């Protein structure tokens, strides 16, 4: 793909723009791959032609808006200014009560999509202080803004009526449909784009697998966690079958499970925990926002993922990558291993330098000790020599005196 990216830089603008749009479609799932984006658009067409058109228009005009605002060309080429646009276009069509092929809907779609880079840039200036991504916050803000500004009883852009639950759901465990329950896993992945067709979800899984098997595995795991959480919290079976409990957990599990953290078994468990937390938070946010006639969108994913990215820990096994180094889980893991090897090499080098320094200090101490011993020995030797000389002189004097006495005695005898 890096080779393809360099080749694409030399092509004419329209072909580059198509590449950026496809990457933007895939970046919703944290994937920077035009082939994955092409498969995703294929899945959207399989779901609904009108929705696919709105998604394409949203991605296109969000990217054009980023070009007009002269945002980072590298970020535009990676699709980072397009993924909120495709969600805005898709979900405006999904929540519209005007039906399919209501062409007037393209006007607010284009306007809100072109607002995505503005909101993204504003949020990035805030989140960059903590080295955090903006995720899908622009999409959440703009779609909720549009739905609040129009509402269900609007003449031009009516929205679907969303109301809070007013009665206890009738849940009979014996009536659970296991086939639909297991089918809710691919449906949950499809609901990231607002799609409830399991075949569409299956195409999305393929698009993830060809780009990153780790991302694909965590997407499936996150959707399964959402399904289990829905059962545990006694959610209506219809909501679970429809994938409404899975899509936020899918994004949360991908984000934590190797995308913004280097994947270790501790991070894997952290991703599962985040998915469960996201499911619980999703139920709470859905209940609150339904009182205002609004969907939960991806607010649960954003809040839960940002919360887990802000945690601090003393273990080296949970390593948050710098935002500038984030690519895809496999490459992130290689970067982490390389960094650990460099740290290990630096540690060994530091220990070697400290050992050499300690050896030098030991040698210096031994040298000083030897010099001290030599000085003491020299001082002792000098003292001993002086004493021997004095004793020799005294002996000589005594011998002289004795000789004199002997000569005196001999003279007296004579």
For the segment 70-102, what is each residue's pLDDT rounded down to a tens digit? 999 999 999 999 999 999 999 999 999 988 999
Confirm if 169 and 287 have CB atoms less than 8 A apart. no
Confirm if 189 and 212 have CB atoms less than 8 A apart. no
| pLDDT, average across residues 379-390 | 58
pLDDT at 389: 53
pTM of the entire structure? Answer: 0.84
pLDDT at 406: 53
Report helix, strand or coil for 109. helix
Q: Does residue 393 register a pLDDT over 60?
A: no
Q: Does residue 412 register a pLDDT over 70?
A: no
Q: Does residue 62 register a pLDDT over 90?
A: yes
- With bands split at pLDDT 50, 70 and 90, how would you rate the model's confidence at 2? low
Of 44-53, 109-118, 177-186, 310-319, least confident by mean pLDDT is 310-319
- With bands split at pLDDT 50, 70 and 90, how would you rate the model's confidence at 410? very low
d(CA 399, CA 392): 10
User: How do residues 199-248 score in pLDDT, each as one tens digit?
Assistant: 999 999 999 999 999 999 999 999 999 999 999 998 999 999 999 999 99
pLDDT at 355: 82
User: How do residues 117-159 score in pLDDT, each as one tens digit?
Assistant: 999 999 999 999 999 999 999 999 999 999 999 989 999 999 9
pLDDT at 380: 64
Higher pLDDT pick, 108 / 376: 108
Confirm if 183 and 131 have CB atoms less than 8 A apart. no
pLDDT at 142: 96
Confirm if 180 and 246 have CB atoms less than 8 A apart. no
Of 55-69, 152-166, 213-227, 258-272, least confident by mean pLDDT is 152-166
pLDDT at 413: 47
> How high does pLDDT run on average in the chain?
88
User: How do residues 298-357 score in pLDDT, each as one tens digit?
Assistant: 999 999 999 999 999 888 889 999 999 999 999 999 999 998 888 888 888 888 888 888
Report the percentage of the chain scoring pLDDT > 90: 69
Q: Does residue 9 register a pLDDT over 70?
A: no
CA distances to 146, 397, 407 from 400, in Å: 131, 5, 11
d(CA 109, CA 92): 7
CA distances to 130, 218, 306, 320, 330 from 274, in Å: 19, 12, 10, 15, 20
Confirm if 158 and 97 have CB atoms less than 8 A apart. yes
d(CA 289, CA 303): 15
Confirm if 246 and 184 have CB atoms less than 8 A apart. yes
Confirm if 192 and 251 have CB atoms less than 8 A apart. yes
| pLDDT, average across residues 7-30 | 87
Confirm if 36 and 63 have CB atoms less than 8 A apart. no
Report the percentage of the chain scoring pLDDT > 70: 89
């Amino acid at each position: 793909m890096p080779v393809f990216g360099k080749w694409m830089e030399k092509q004419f603008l329209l072909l580059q723009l198509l590449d950026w749009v496809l990457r933007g479609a895939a970046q919703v799932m944290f994937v920077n791959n035009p082939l994955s984006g092409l498969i995703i658009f294929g899945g959207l067409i399989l779901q609904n032609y009108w929705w696919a058109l709105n998604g394409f228009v949203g991605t296109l005009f969000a990217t054009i808006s980023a070009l007009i605002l002269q945002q980072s060309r590298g970020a535009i080429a990676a699709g980072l200014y397009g993924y909120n646009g495709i969600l805005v276009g898709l979900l405006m069509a999904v929540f519209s009560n005007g039906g399919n092929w209501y062409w007037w809907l393209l006007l607010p779609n284009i306007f809100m999509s072109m607002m995505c880079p503005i909101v993204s840039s504003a949020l990035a200036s805030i989140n960059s202080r903590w080295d955090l991504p903006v995720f899908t916050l622009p999409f959440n803000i703009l779609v909720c803004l549009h739905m609040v500004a129009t509402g269900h009883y609007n003449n031009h852009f009516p929205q679907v009526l969303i109301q809070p639950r007013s009665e206890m759901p009738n849940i009979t465990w014996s009536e659970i449909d296991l086939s639909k329950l297991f089918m809710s896993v691919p449906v949950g992945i499809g609901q990231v784009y607002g799609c409830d067709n399991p075949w569409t979800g299956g195409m999305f899984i393929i698009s993830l697998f060809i780009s990153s098997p780790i991302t694909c595995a965590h997407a499936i795991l996150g959707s399964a966690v959402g399904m289990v959480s829905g059962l545990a919290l006694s959610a209506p079976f219809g909501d679970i079958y429809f994938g409404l409990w899975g899509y936020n957990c899918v994004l949360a599990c991908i984000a934590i499970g190797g995308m913004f953290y280097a994947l270790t078994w501790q991070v894997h468990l952290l991703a599962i925990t985040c998915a469960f937390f996201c499911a619980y938070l999703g139920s709470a946010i859905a209940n609150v926002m339904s009182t205002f006639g609004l969907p939960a969108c991806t607010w649960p994913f954003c809040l839960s993922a940002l919360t887990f990215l802000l945690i601090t820990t003393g273990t080296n096994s949970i390593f948050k990558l710098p935002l500038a180094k984030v690519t895809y889980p496999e490459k992130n893991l290689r970067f982490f291993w390389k960094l650990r090897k460099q740290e290990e090499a630096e540690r060994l080098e530091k220990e070697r330098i400290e050992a050499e320094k300690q050896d030098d200090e030991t040698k210096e101490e031994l040298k000083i000790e030897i010099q001290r011993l030599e000085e003491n020995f020299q001082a002792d030797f000098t003292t001993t020599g002086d004493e021997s000389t004095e004793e020799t002189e005294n002996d000589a004097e005594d011998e002289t005196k004795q000789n004199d006495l002997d000569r005196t005695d001999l003279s007296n005898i004579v």
